[in-house]
Amino acid sequence: DIVMTQSPDSLAVSLGERATINCKSSQSVFYSSDNKNYLAWYQQKPGQPPKLLIYWASTRESGVPDRFSGSGAGTDFTLTISSLQADDVAVYYCQQYYNTPQTFGQGTKVEIK
């Protein structure tokens, strides 16, 4: 199985400031045949199911605010919230879908400082 490791486990950021979450995979999730990184990011708020934010490492899902962005390739990826809003308090997960079993990172809890 591909192991996904996120850092940090939690972070506290002031409103309007940048939040950065890292995700590292134990093997590359890049397919050269289609030039894509098989990596997604999800947001989960308390008491709610996860919500897709980013797929193909950097493609924003429809309706997701543009303050959310994804970057990276191969084994190292980043989710950035450019200007943290109160509504962004949640746990964020990366997931690889390069192969099955698909696997998630352990999650990063984002709070307001």
Partner 1 sequence: EVQLVQSGAEVKKPGESLKISCKGSGYNFANYWVGWVRQMPGKGLEWMAIIHPGDSDTRYSPSFQGQVTISADKSMSTAYLQWSALKDSDTAMYYCARATSGTFSPFYSDQWGQGTLVTVSS
Any contact of residue 67 with partner 1 (CB under 8 A)?
Answer: no
Whole-angstrom CA distances from 87 to 2, 37, 68, 94, 111 are 31, 28, 12, 19, 10
Q: Tell me how far, at minimum, the Cβ of 68 lies from partner 1, in Å.
A: 15
Q: What span, in angstroms and rounded, lies between the C-alpha atoms of 84 and 102?
A: 29
| Residue selected from 61, 67, 73, 89 as contacting partner 1 according to rule CB under 8 A | 61
Q: Which of 22, 44, 69, 78 touches partner 1 by CB under 8 A? A: 44
Distance, in Å, from the CA atom of 77 to the CA atom of 70, rounded to the nearest integer, reads 7
Residues in the chain: 113
By CB under 8 A, name the one of 29, 30, 37, 55 that touches partner 1.
55
Taking contact as CB under 8 A, which single stretch among the options 11-19, 63-71, 72-80, 97-105 is the one that binds partner 1?
97-105
What minimum distance in Å lies between the beta carbon of 105 and partner 1? Answer: 8
Contact status, residue 111 vs residue 102, Cβ threshold 8 Å: no
Q: Environment class of residue 32 by beta-carbon count within 10 Å: exposed (0-12), middle (13-18) or buried (19+)? A: exposed
Cβ at position 24, least distance to partner 1 in Å: 16
| String of contacts with partner 1 for each residue 20-39, x by CB under 8 A | ------------------x-
